[in-house]
Chains A and B, each alone.
Chain A
Amino acid sequence: MSEGTMSLTLKVWRQKNSTSKGEFKTYPVSGISSDMSFLEMFDVLNEELITKGEESIAFDHDCREGICGMCSMYINGRPHGPKNAITTCQLHMRSFKDGDTITVEPWRASAFPIVKDLAVNRSAFDRIIASGGYVSVNTGNAKDANDILIPKEDADEAFSAAACIGCGACVAACKNASAMLFVSAKVSQLALLPQGKVESQKRVENMVAQMDVEGFGACTNTGACSAECPKGISLEHIARLNREYFSAKLTSNNV
């Protein structure tokens, strides 16, 4: 167990609600242990703020094990901070040095309005899923699970897409605030599996249309989304989405 010896300067975005103007505020923190997670460091800061009579900093978080996708801090210009393939909650203070200044902002995208401080509204993602990110199968309609044979490679590839946690880091990382990586992960997962094939044309058209309605930007294949994705979702899924989309557009009358 290491003693808490680090001192840091935090510049944190404070904004009362979606309509008010925000600003950076500077907070010194000390007694930080390298074993702490980044969010535990925020817990320490918030306890201090409350004790001093200042309102704590609002931030989204829940599982704190990198899977729920709720935490969403933009740290020193990178979604989820300096390390690759982890969420903010999995970032530990051993990734920083004593004396560092750390800038923390919310996800910035017009499709993700700020709720308060570092918390944003990502319900646009839910609406995209509601537009087609599913297989239309009511409970009770299923046949025996082993009646559907799926090559291991396809199952593994579908799983690698399905690993998306819907955190929105891809949008935050993109200069156009595009949601292509998020949308492609679901399109790709279901396009790879026989269960999802039946509706694949309609799905990709509807989900892309909904993405546009929500105000996400266009994809220019820069790849920042994939580079910053805590689950390492590959750009290949965007390529697969594009193939699905173009073939759907050429052959269907759906949307």
Chain B
Amino acid sequence: MSNKILDAKVPEGVLETKWTKYRSTVPLVNPSNKRNIEIIVVGSGLAGSSAAATLAELGYKVKVFCFQDSPRRAHSIAAQGGINAAKNYQNDGDSTYRLFYDTIKGGDYRAREGNVYRLAEVSTYIIDQCVAQGVPFAREYGGLLSNRSFGGTQVQRTFYAAGQTGQQLLLGAYSALERQVGMGTVKMHARHEMLDVVNIDGKCRGIIARDLVTGKLERHFGHAVLLCTGGYGNVFFLSTNAMGSNVTAAWKAHKKGAFFGNPCYTQIHPTCIPVSGDHQSKLTLMSESLRNDGRIWVPIKQNDTRKPTDIPENERDYYLERRYPAFGNLVPRDVASRAAKERCDAGYGVGASKMAVYLDFSFNMDRYGKVEATKRGLVDPDAKTIRELGKEVVKEKYGNLFDMYKQITGEDPYEIPMRIYPAVHYTMGGLWVDYNLMTTVPGLYALGEANFSDHGANRLGASALMQGLADGYFVLPYTIGSYLSNEIRTQSISTDHEAFVEAEKAVKERLEKILSIKGSKTVDYFHKRLGKIMWDKCGMARDKEGLEWAIKEIQSIQREFWSDVRVLGDANEFNPELEKAGRVADFLELGELMCVDALNRNESCGGHFRTEYQTEDGEALRDDENFAFVSAWEYKDANQFELHKEELHYENIKIAQRSYK
């Protein structure tokens, strides 16, 4: 492996003014030239919709592609808890610097300082923009915006709309996008899937997309292409991602020259509804915001089969409060997930599978109930009245989440504690991008979860929505000028160009190949096998031996897939199985790279926990001397990846062993 050093192009100068200065000096494209420049946006989630709407407002010609039947369905819609912003509305000591610091520390010192500071800086504009669009954030009685806390922070900086924050933010961005569609500045292509990028003379110049209804392959030219295609958590088969979430667009870009950054950094979210059986198709998250009012515990005795409500207070182990008194139930996600796994592996798990812990609201329901009783002037209310009053408060805050839990499990969380267990939720890794959000292919950008940029080795809660919208509304529309200002003389390239013809031919052949195998196993069969390997060997705990085994095993599944998969129907029609097959084929290649990356990183950091590298009390043990870099992998050939490094320099934060005790 070579060790070429990558240049992130972070502007020089002091941290606090890098972005302001850069924004004011980055080359611009004048309005009359913008009208002639075409930009392709793939994906219509928070990053894609916000970027597309903003670029169209600026005057560019924009085309947007999404595989769902409407851009409003992108998986950003499922984000529950909230969005962070350093507004300091609560006067509790928040600031741009503190959000920056929390994010770097939360990411276990593996994120780029310049990017993260910029993210913290623009966070406040996002809230302003969303409110102006009519996003109905939660409010206090005085009419001001309300906030709550998320993990890894000690301030209340999270803005929310009940448990549907992602939905409301996405509908805001979607309405801005549809406004541009109505004005004719954005051309929307729903039910289309990008199946390759087209490079000409070393620059990205377009895409090949498949119309999923007719099966027709289309060629689209763009002066620049933005991939806003989300994360790849579905490589694990079971995750909280939507069924259609996939790595295909990013992976095609990777195979055409875009380096893949930190593929092994995966976020396992601590509070999800446990797996109930082999039929399970996906997992459901219970928002981190619940940890504001829910206390996590397991019985103090192993294999305790009593009902949770029958276990007395002194026989419960509130293990997060015990191990991490400073942050308690609000430690970051990676820490909370590992702690749950530790308790379950040690035999203290609950429920039928014993792979779950309790998330209990009774304590805070009673606390709220007493406050309500006082407000209403009730003297000596009985326990039942207090609980009823408290229930109302909790219902107001998390009602839809409690309903969802009850619908899925058949149990009422107002009466007995929720059972929860960690599940794959988010991928910090993604296409490597520089400060401009450009990949290693000129003209090809990656935004939102699809890039690797801001969260290091672990993302803090309520920061994904922030990053997606920051990239789309406030970062890319400026930084793209540094590239497009040199492209104003580039005429639209005809899609009859041989690069388009060849790319389309390769896509067509691949689809025909999949259909021609006519093997004996379904696509899901392969996906489930891959998922199990990834979860067992590249999930919450990893080790050298397991990863080496996983790489070999995944390679053998790849061979089996291409000789024995069965996909029926044909390529010239609506064929969801064919779509799925293409995505799983890409996951099979990505899964291998994730294991290669995890094997290469001989340290533990954030979501990447190598059991060989841990402190005496089981915390992640970083190796800053040898691994303070971003791994950026170049695709060389099938099963061959070359490592490049971006060194991480901390000039403003003292790098330290992360502690939440």
Contact of B174 among A129, A142, A156, A196 (CB under 8 A): A129
B139 close to chain A: CB less than 8 A = yes
Do B142 and A33 touch (CB < 8 A)? no
Separation of A54 and B57 alpha carbons in the complex (Å): 48
0/1 string, B409-433, CB within 8 A of A gives 1: 0100000000000000000000000
B404 close to chain A: CB less than 8 A = yes
Number of interface residues of B (CB under 8 A): 85
A99 close to chain B: CB less than 8 A = no
Do B279 and A44 touch (CB < 8 A)? yes
0/1 string, B444-478, CB within 8 A of A gives 1: 00000000000000000000000000000110010
> Given known contacts A33-B277, A56-B576, A126-B190, is B75 in contact with A68 (CB within 8 Å)?
yes
Provide the residues of chain B in CB contact with A133, threshold 8 Å: 175, 178
Separation of A102 and B575 alpha carbons in the complex (Å): 24
B554 close to chain A: CB less than 8 A = no
Name B213's closest neighbour in chain A (CB-CB): A115
0/1 string, A79-103, CB within 8 A of B gives 1: 0000001100010101000000000
Provide the residues of chain B in CB contact with A135, threshold 8 Å: 132-134, 175
Separation of A143 and B576 alpha carbons in the complex (Å): 45
Do B175 and A148 touch (CB < 8 A)? no
Provide the residues of chain A in CB contact with B191, threshold 8 Å: 115
0/1 string, B138-167, CB within 8 A of A gives 1: 111111110000000000000001101011
Number of interface residues of A (CB under 8 A): 81
A139 close to chain B: CB less than 8 A = yes
Do B167 and A134 touch (CB < 8 A)? no
B231 close to chain A: CB less than 8 A = no
Do B524 and A90 touch (CB < 8 A)? no
B63 to chain A, nearest CB (A): 15
Interface-facing stretch out of B198-206, B315-323, B565-573, B643-651: B565-573
Do B133 and A131 touch (CB < 8 A)? no
B281 close to chain A: CB less than 8 A = yes
Provide the residues of chain B in CB contact with A196, threshold 8 Å: 134
Do A130 and B139 touch (CB < 8 A)? no
| B179, B352, B403 interface centre (most CB from chain A within 10 Å) | B179
Provide the residues of chain B in CB contact with A66, threshold 8 Å: 404, 407
Do A4 and B281 touch (CB < 8 A)? no
Separation of A69 and B78 alpha carbons in the complex (Å): 10
A4 to chain B, nearest CB (A): 7
Do B72 and A36 touch (CB < 8 A)? no
Task: Name A residues whose Cβ lies closer than 8 Å to a Cβ of B.
Answer: 1-2, 4, 16-17, 33, 35-37, 39-40, 43-44, 47, 50-51, 53-56, 58, 60-70, 85-86, 90, 92, 94, 115-116, 119, 121-123, 125-126, 129-146, 148-152, 155-156, 158-159, 162-163, 165-166, 189-190, 193, 195-196
Besides the known contacts A62-B68, A115-B574, A142-B131, 18 further A-B residue pairs in the complex with CB atoms under 8 A apart: A37-B408, A55-B568, A64-B243, A64-B284, A66-B407, A67-B78, A92-B408, A116-B573, A126-B71, A130-B181, A134-B175, A134-B176, A134-B178, A139-B474, A142-B128, A142-B132, A158-B136, A189-B136
List 24 A–B pairs whose Cβ atoms lie within 8 Å, in order of A's numbering: A1-B352, A36-B277, A40-B280, A44-B279, A55-B568, A56-B577, A63-B75, A65-B404, A68-B73, A68-B242, A85-B403, A92-B407, A115-B574, A121-B69, A126-B71, A126-B188, A134-B133, A136-B179, A143-B128, A145-B128, A149-B143, A162-B168, A162-B171, A163-B167
